[in-house]
């Protein structure tokens, strides 16, 4: 826990002076004050994060954490577990939606195998940091040990740090793991009074019978493991996932290095919730990209007090919503740098 305590202590408040200066500049641009709405909010937040009045996000990256889940044995997913490594290869070969949308935004995609249940998974572009061959079935006991949860979290911290040191200015969370809406729903259930029937959705396409199995699996997991909401690492270990832990680390690692981190949908949101329970100040460094079609996503974002930028009826995961939001975030920074002030344009409002 010493490493995590140091990490938490490294997350500093936003730079208030930079935010005030950014606000003054925005108010001097040739537009009514506040008329660009979320774009203005974004650039003020970025100024606070980076300390730069006119921040840049030229170098962008989505880090996809991939891991499997033992709870799929309970029939909680419409897709077989074999899809996880198949999709990892698809990401690495550039054929997935995340590759297309990241490419549109001029962003890189990197994939970390943090717990795919395929010991043969190999690729020259794959970052192999496998903690185990997936998690255990959380209906029978803890999904992973506390030590494994911390190890996976620190892999995310290290991944964020390595890319930021190489010049990445904007990071995003992505994930791949068949069955991972189940642990995400379980994590939310620990921190929400909402009924599981409200939180739990179809994932990649469950029918009503499958949703009932999913709810039962979550109920059983919570009863068997009794995760402690006052100890987010305990929650992560007992009913979480390796890729969820990795993304939690990505968020904390980015915040500790004063770098904005864009979260994707429901599973990324579960990681953000845990990150903010571990280090409440991390919230200031998070940008919520979109509102997923997963029914629990709004409840989850409300629990963190984050407002999503986009509503696109998306529920794919991979980091796709975050990659799409990169374009909006870059637009905000360009407004700040490229738009003329009233004085520069010779526009007199008196």
Per-residue burial over 56-85, b = 16 or more CB atoms within 10 Å of its CB, e = otherwise: ebebbbbbbbbbbbbbbebbbbebebebbb
- CA torsion sign for 166, 169, 175, 176 is negative
DSSP 249-274: HHHHHHHHTT--EEE-SHHHHHHHHH
Q: Given its phi and psi angles, is residue 118 left (phi above 0), alpha (psi -120 to 50 degrees) or beta? A: beta
Distances (CA, A) of 104 to 99, 108, 191, 328: 9, 10, 36, 12
Backbone phi, psi, residue 107, to 5°? -110, 155
Q: Given its phi and psi angles, is residue 134 left (phi above 0), alpha (psi -120 to 50 degrees) or beta? A: left
Q: Given its phi and psi angles, is residue 195 left (phi above 0), alpha (psi -120 to 50 degrees) or beta? A: beta
Q: What is the dihedral of CA 118, 124, 125, 127, to 10 degrees?
A: 50
Nearest to 23 by CA among 41, 36, 49, 50: 41
Residue 167's Cβ-count burial label (10 Å; 0-12, 13-18, 19+) is: exposed
* Residue 303: its H or E element: helix 296-304
Q: What is the dihedral of CA 298, 304, 305, 311, to 10 degrees?
A: -30
Whole-angstrom distance, CA of residue 339 vs CA of residue 62: 28
Instruction: Give catalytic residues, as residue numbers.
Output: 318
Task: Please give the sequence-ordered ranges of beta strands (E in DSSP) within the chain, or none if there are none.
Answer: 60-67, 107-115, 127-128, 170-176, 261-263, 286-288
């Amino acid at each position: 826990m010493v490493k995590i305590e140091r990490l938490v202590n490294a997350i500093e408040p936003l730079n208030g002076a930079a935010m005030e200066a950014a606000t003054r500049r925005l108010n001097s641009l040739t537009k009514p004050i506040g008329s660009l709405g979320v774009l203005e909010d974004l650039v003020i937040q970025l100024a606070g994060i980076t300390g730069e009045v006119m921040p840049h996000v030229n170098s962008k990256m989505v880090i996809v954490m991939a891991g499997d889940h033992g709870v799929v044995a309970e029939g909680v997913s419409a897709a077989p577990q074999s899809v996880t490594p198949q999709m990892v290869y698809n990401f690495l070969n550039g054929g997935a939606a995340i590759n297309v949308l990241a490419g549109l935004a001029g962003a890189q995609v990197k994939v970390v195998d943090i717990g795919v249940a395929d010991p043969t998974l190999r690729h020259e572009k794959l970052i192999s940091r496998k903690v185990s061959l997936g998690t255990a079935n959380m209906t029978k006991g803890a999904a992973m040990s506390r030590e494994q949860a911390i190890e996976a979290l620190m892999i995310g911290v290290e991944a964020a740090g390595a890319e930021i040191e190489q010049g990445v200015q904007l990071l995003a969370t992505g994930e791949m793991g068949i069955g991972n809406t189940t642990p995400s729903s379980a994590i939310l259930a620990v921190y929400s009074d909402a009924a599981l029937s409200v939180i739990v959705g179809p994932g990649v396409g469950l029918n009503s019978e499958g949703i009932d199995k999913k709810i039962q699996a979550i109920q059983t997991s919570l009863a068997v493991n009794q995760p402690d909401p006052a100890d987010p690492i305990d929650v992560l270990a007992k009913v979480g996932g390796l890729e969820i832990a990795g993304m939690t680390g990505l968020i904390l690692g980015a915040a500790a290095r004063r770098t904005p981190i864009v979260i994707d949908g429901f599973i990324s949101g579960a990681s953000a919730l845990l990150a903010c329970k571990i280090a409440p100040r991390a919230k200031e460094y998070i940008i919520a990209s979109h509102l997923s079609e997963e029914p629990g996503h709004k409840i989850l974002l409300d629990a963190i007090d984050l407002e999503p930028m986009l509503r696109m009826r998306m529920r794919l995961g991979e980091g796709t919503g975050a990659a799409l939001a990169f374009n909006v975030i870059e637009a905000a920074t360009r407004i700040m740098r490229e738009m003329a002030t009233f004085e520069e344009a010779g526009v007199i409002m008196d």
